[in-house]
Amino acid sequence: MTVNKQLNYGQAIALIEKFMNDSGIRSYCENICIGNCCNKCYTSDKACLSNEGRRLACSVYICVSLANLIFTSEEHIKYDYMSMKIRQQLNIARRAHDHTINYTNPYYEPYTTEQIRKFSIKYSDIVDNIPSCKSDIQRIYKSISSIINLSINAVQGYQTSLKGINK
C-alpha cells in the first residue's frame, strides 16, 4: 500500500479494532471500564451498538488516564493526532452529506449511511500513528493485563473486606 492510499470507513474501523483487540485495550474497555467513557450513551436510544454498530470515533477513543499508563509520550501524541484526524474526517463526511458547516459530535449521534459512504482518510494517517510493531503491541498488552489484574484484585479485596464488616 502507498502512503497516498485512502481508506474507507470499514477499512479504517477494521485497522483500529485490530489494534484495540490485539493490544487488549478492547478487553479492558468492555470488562473493566464497562462504558464509563460513554457517559451512559450505551443505554440510550442513540447507542452505537443499538444502531449502526461501534462508531469509529468511539472505536478509536482511549481515555486519557489509560493512555497515560500504556503509551509512551511519542505514542500518545501520535495516537491523539490520529484520533483528531478521524474525528475531522467524520465531520467532513457529515457536512458533505447534510451541507452544513455545523460541528456534529462524532460520539453521540448515529452516523448516516451517506456519512459512512463519504468517509475517507489517508492510510498513512492511521498506520503511521498507531503502535503496530509486535514488541509495542506486546508491551501495551502486558500493561493492560496488569491493569485488569489489579482491578480484579481490588474488587476481590473490597468484597472480602465487606464480608468482614457484615459479620
Burial class (CB in 10 A: 0-12, 13-18, 19+), 115: buried
Dist. CA 136–CA 44, nearest whole Å: 36
Helix (H, G, I), strand (E, B) or coil at 106: coil
pLDDT digits (tens, 9 = 90+) for 4-13: 799 999 999 9
Q: How confident is the model at residue 167 (pLDDT cuts 50, 70, 90)?
A: low
pLDDT digits (tens, 9 = 90+) for 45-81: 777 777 777 889 888 999 888 899 899 999 999 999 9
Q: Do 73 and 11 form a contact (C-beta atoms < 8 A)?
A: no
pLDDT digits (tens, 9 = 90+) for 73-106: 999 999 999 999 999 999 888 876 666 666 667 7
Cell of 91: 465531520
pLDDT digits (tens, 9 = 90+) for 108-129: 777 888 888 999 999 999 999 9
How many CB atoms sit inside 10 A of residue 152's CB? 12
